[in-house]
Amino acid sequence: MIIEVRKLLTKGKYEGTFAFDFVPEKDKILVPLSSIDKVDVEGKYEIYDDDSVGVTFTLKYNLKGQCSYCLADAEQAIEYSTEVLFVTDKNDCDNYVYDGVKVDLKVAVDDALLFSQPAVLLCKEGCEGIKIN
Ligand SMILES: [Zn+2]
């Protein structure tokens, strides 16, 4: 997903919304034995006077796989919102850097996908794992 900052500015548009979905790469799924069919992304952006671009977005997806404790089938709906800033200053380590022309959301969305994943996937809240008699 690309935000054409330069083009938007020439049209006098400083803010807008976006929505898209994507299939995550396998190496972006952190919970063992789980998968994500599709991630829905919805958000909005605002281009500021100094050419920085603030982007707020929400990821929604179902994490499917095996319970981390008992290995039963498990599925968890996840929703995660974040706010990031794209700047043109290459020395800015706190924000994402872009070239002043286009913002590519891929890295920010991939980062959010990593942050949004739980440490474990459970079949139900309070699963006690495999019972050993
Ligand atoms: Zn379980």
Domain residue limits, the chain:
2-116
pLDDT in tens, 95-131: 999 999 999 999 999 999 999 999 999 999 899 888 7
Torsion of CA 10, 110, 83, 81, to 10 degrees: 130
pLDDT in tens, 8-54: 999 999 999 999 999 999 999 999 889 999 999 999 999 999 999 99
Residues with CB under 5 A from ligand 1 (ion): 67, 69-70, 72, 123, 127
Dihedral-angle region of residue 105 (phi above 0 means left; psi in -120 to 50 means alpha; beta otherwise): alpha
- Looking at residues 75-103, what average pLDDT do you find? 96
Comparing CA positions, the residue from 80, 78, 79, 73 lying closest to residue 122 is: 73
Question: Parallel, antiparallel, or unpaired: how do β-strands 103-104 and 2-3 relate?
Answer: antiparallel
Inter-residue contact 34 to 122 (CB < 8 Å)? no
Model pTM score: 0.90
CA of 62 to the centre of ligand 1 (A): 17
